[in-house]
Amino acid sequence: MITLETIPLFRHLNRTELQVLRRIAQEHQFAAGQEIFHEGAPGDGVYFVKAGLVEISASQGGHRVFSRLGPGEIFGEMAVIELRPRSATAAAAQATAVFFLPRGEMLSFLEHSPGLAFALLQQISHRLREFNQLHLRELVQAESLAVIGRFAQGVVHDLKNPLSIISLSAEMFDMPGIRPEIRAQAQLRICRQVERINDLVGDILIFTQGARPEAALMAGDYRAFVLELVGDLRAEAELKTAQVEMENVPPPVRVRFDPRRLSRVFFNLVGNATDVMLNGGKIFLRFRFDENEILTELEDTGPGISPEIAGQLFQPFATHGKAHGTGLGLSICKKIVEDHGGKIFVRSETGRGAIFGFTLPLVK
């Protein structure tokens, strides 16, 4: 239990000011659970905790206790100064004694005590800073939970396509009278989609761990790689009534690459394109090369991407034009391409859809 003169706000008052303070201060007792004032009530005075514990709560968004105050602490001051109703409810968390200073007497006292007015201003500034920090923490927590939710939705969304291909291929595999070469093709497609799911999980783990593993890059034929991959890309696009067309055949160049990880770039870019194209559409693959590198471009017939958004697309958790998605797809593409020594970019021209491209250095 404390006295008026030991309350931090009043420690610097002189003897005369303390005498005035004692005359205007009232003492009130509250039982545990008893309300001191209610949200929306008139701001009739300011309170200081003499003994016990006071809980400050608000009903917005459900009953929430956002502050607990002990001996010497002030509460109810904002409604007095602003001449507005109480913005929160104060209640005794346990048997509590308070000093109460009626609004009129408190304001008059402040007018005759500049030191007290300045100390109160400092107290209010400190309180507002605490509330701002609490609010920021809540915003960060809420945004983090929202990001986790979007991330989980996106993982499920990214798994649906390979699972659908596996399901269709399994049905084809079990059809009676199916030709052996079709059965073998279905089996191979199932194996590839299982590998793709494994790669998806691996990429997510790599991203969340923040690791930069050494890519297992082996020199290989880029044309053979793309021609083998394009069948699976077409199968995935057809799930959303889209088509993948090659404008030209990849050149017979050799690059150092990890086939599994580089396949992830193609699947991500094709998947993004089919997600934003309404009622199907087309995705065009084209290739150009010079003495140093090969350029691969994927252009869709979708709505395109505005320049102000294009610069943010490769950032983690950024999504555009998709109801679901981890927001990691393009950032993972960027990481894979850069691990291969290349660069990735996006552009959009008037009357055309989005154009994603990436370069890979040639083996010399």
pLDDT reported for residue 315: 67
- List the pLDDT tens digit at each of the 364 positions of the chain: 788 888 888 888 888 888 888 898 999 999 999 999 998 888 888 999 999 999 988 876 556 787 889 998 888 887 666 677 888 899 999 999 999 999 888 888 777 777 777 777 666 666 656 665 655 555 555 555 555 565 666 666 667 777 888 888 888 777 888 888 888 888 888 887 877 777 667 666 656 555 455 457 899 999 999 999 999 999 889 888 899 999 999 999 999 999 988 998 999 899 889 888 877 799 999 999 999 999 999 999 988 887 666 666 776 655 554 544 445 678 888 888 998 999 999 987 878 889 999 999 999 8
pLDDT at 146: 58
Residue with tokens 């990481």: 335
Q: Give the burial class of 1: count Cβ atoms within 10 A of its Cβ; 0-12 exposed, 13-18 middle, 19 or more buried.
A: exposed
User: Measured between alpha carbons, how far is 54 from 98 in angstroms, rounded to an integer?
Assistant: 9
Q: Given this model, what pLDDT does residue 223 score?
A: 96
pLDDT at 155: 64
**What is the predicted pLDDT for the residue at 335?**
86
Query: What does the pLDDT read at residue 325?
Result: 46
Alpha-carbon distance values, 249 to 3, 226, 326, 363 (Å): 88, 9, 32, 19
Q: Which domains does the chain have, with CATH numbers?
A: 4-112 (2.60.120.10), 218-361 (3.30.565.10)
- How far, in whole angstroms, is CA 187 from its chain's centroid? 39
CA pair distance 174, 168, nearest whole angstrom: 10
Model pLDDT, residue 324? 43
The SS3 call for residue 112 is: coil
**Alpha helix (H) ranges present in the chain?**
15-24, 77-82, 103-111, 114-173, 180-209, 222-238, 259-276, 307-310, 329-339
Amino acid in the structure at residue 194: V
